[in-house]
Amino acid sequence: MQHTPWWQGAVIYQVYPRSFMDSNNDGVGDLKGIIDRFDYIESLGVDAVWVSPFFKSPMKDFGYDISDYRDVDPLFGSLDDFDALIARAKQSDIKIIIDQVLSHTSDQHAWFEESRQDKTNPKADWYVWADPKPDGTAPNNWMSIFGGTAWQWEPRRGQYFLHNFLSSQPDLNFHNEDVQKAVLDNVEFWLKRGVGGFRLDAINFCFHDKELRDNPAKPKELRAGRGFSEDNPYAYQYHYFNNTQPENLEFMEQLRQLFDQYDEVVSLGEISSEDSLKDMALYTHNNQRLNMAYSFELLTDDFSAQHIKDTVSSLEAQMTGGWPCWAVSNHDADRVVTRWGKGKENAQLARMLAAMLGSLKGSICTYQGEELGLSQAELSFEELQDPFGITFWPQFKGRDGCRTPMPWQHDAKQGGFSTEKPWLPVSQSHLPLAVDKQDSDESSPLNSYRTFMKWRKAHPALVTGDIEFVSTDDNVLMFIRHCPNASMEKILCVFNFNEHNVDIKLTHDVAQFLNGCPFVMNASTLASSTTSINVDGFSGFYAHIK
């Protein structure tokens, strides 16, 4: 029988360590905090934990600006703590996936501190340096995601350096083979420590256009919809030259060759490009590059059955030999019940979204607190820490609202996250949704999540089966998951994206409802001859297909 890798159809739980659990009461979460709460993680029925960056960093972008790839920042603990986390996860047969930020470093990394000194040092060509135009302005029109030009002047060299993100995050020059080798060596350092995989941040940003050609302008009507507000000048361009270059695909193959030297290590790439679905397919092509990729297509404001159908169908049509991974929340996007609920956040919506995501073909990522149905926290300008939000306030309030600490105890100081003032405030609106409150409520989003994920594992069609969409009206998402194996399991999945009840037509013979799922209605209400059924708002059901 063909072996199915552990990560195909896996449920990956994203931990943002600063905000998960503070074990030493300094107001910041840490690696020991993750270990202390690992029983909770195990109770969710997940297969892997993706841990956002914990490496040494000046924290200008909260760990996504790395100054030492091979050490843990003291804020989060030590290498011994990381090894203990690996060991604890192994006890529960759960993999640890770490974030790797390969395209850029911190400006406090030793490589950059050497590179910036002059044009002749051993690291002189390790970053993207360019001369100014004759009038002293930047080499081209490339923009930073965080606002303004993507070029920063360095007087010691008399040149500009490229930064696609903050000016304190200079881009590495991957056209230099020594850089590629050094990056691969850093990755292998963590492979040798037993990690189960890598989430590769902004992985399509590694290479830039050697000719430094200007990006063309983008029409105003096309500027929104890719995770960037039309108020951000980054949205004014087609980003054809500052990222997603053809040379990057060869480097992905080098990465894959390294990963394949270790047992069942998974690679998950974050893709943000002008055609992210096409590039997800390219970056996983023929199972020779990354194992999986995900993009921001389901992290936008578009909450509609048609959007989900179009997005998944488009990827299915393009992907050959790769495997998708889907997420509706992460540390960079407003929490999904707020973003898609649009003022109608409730437990029912949270339950439905978890089930819908877990029913799509692919692996899935759940962002911490999503299983609780947490809404986006409201912060004042004075409480902000995110440089992105500080720059664009008030049109864009940044990413802090999805990064506030996990609420563990509804009546404890700081929600049980810490005994001291945390780096971001605990949202008072989150306390009624704390873990201890939901633990004792069988119908809570938390317990529904646990029940659903356990139930999902028992049905191969939902874990690794194919997907076939069924045409529907009235903002209803309907598809069939099926396994082309001896079991021939076929499951009809139906989700009502409306707040109100909808009569849903059934175009397939339904044998029976499955038992044990939070969204299954009374089996006696539906027979195989039924042609329609009334479904509550923000709800759904599953049925076997004859």
Q: Look at residue 166 and tell me if it is in a domain.
A: no
Distance of CA 211 to the CA centre of its chain: 32
pLDDT at 227 over 80: no
pTM to 2 decimal places = 0.96
pLDDT at 445 over 60: yes
- Residue listed under structure tokens 């069609």: 461
Q: Assign 496 to helix, strand or coil.
A: strand
Residue 338 CA to residue 137 CA, distance in Å, equals: 42
What are the tokens at 39? 């029983």
Q: Look at residue 186 and tell me if it is in a domain.
A: yes
- Whether 479 and 351 share a structural domain: no
> Pick from 431, 454, 477: which residue ends a domain?
454
- Residue 42 catalytic? no
- CATH code assigned at 492: 2.60.40.1180
- pLDDT bracket for residue 228 (50, 70, 90): low
Kindly name the residue from 99, 201, 370, 386 that is annotated as catalytic.
Answer: 201
- Whether 449 and 362 share a structural domain: yes
- Residue 270 catalytic? yes
Q: Assign 80 to helix, strand or coil.
A: helix
- Whether 252 and 347 share a structural domain: yes
What is the biggest distance separating any 2 CA atoms in the chain, rounded to whole angstroms? 79
pLDDT at 377 over 90: yes
Q: Look at residue 65 and tell me if it is in a domain.
A: yes
Q: What is the pLDDT of residue 505?
A: 83
Question: What angle do helix axes 305-318 and 276-283 make, rounded to 10 degrees?
Answer: 40
Q: What is the pLDDT of residue 510?
A: 74
Kindly name the residue from 270, 297, 370, 400 that is annotated as catalytic.
Answer: 270
- CATH code assigned at 84: 3.20.20.80
Residue 484 CA to residue 10 CA, distance in Å, equals: 19
- Whether 435 and 488 share a structural domain: no
Residue 178 CA to residue 318 CA, distance in Å, equals: 34
Q: Look at residue 356 and tell me if it is in a domain.
A: yes
Q: Assign 457 to helix, strand or coil.
A: helix
Q: What is the pLDDT of residue 526?
A: 53
Q: Look at residue 398 and tell me if it is in a domain.
A: yes
- Whether 449 and 469 share a structural domain: no
- Convert the pLDDT of each residue in 21-74 to its tens digit: 999 999 999 999 999 999 999 999 999 999 999 999 999 999 999 999 999 999
- Whether 335 and 480 share a structural domain: no
- Whether 443 and 472 share a structural domain: no
- Convert the pLDDT of each residue in 235-287 to its tens digit: 999 999 999 999 999 999 999 999 999 999 999 999 999 999 999 999 999 99
Q: For the chain, how many structural domains are there in total?
A: 2
- Whether 224 and 372 share a structural domain: yes
> Pick from 403, 427, 454: which residue ends a domain?
454
Residue 127 CA to residue 131 CA, distance in Å, equals: 13
Q: Of residues 385 and 519, which shows the higher confidence score?
A: 385
- Residue listed under structure tokens 């930047």: 138
Q: Look at residue 113 and tell me if it is in a domain.
A: no
> Pick from 424, 454, 484: which residue ends a domain?
454
Residue 12 CA to residue 358 CA, distance in Å, equals: 11
pLDDT at 423 over 80: yes
Structural domain that includes position 525: 465-545
Residue 79 CA to residue 360 CA, distance in Å, equals: 37
- Residue listed under structure tokens 């409802």: 513
Short-list 110, 111, 108, 106, CA closest to 126: 111
Phi, psi of 423 (to 5 degrees): -65, -30
- Whether 482 and 424 share a structural domain: no
pLDDT at 528 over 70: no
- Whether 222 and 322 share a structural domain: yes
- pLDDT bracket for residue 2 (50, 70, 90): low
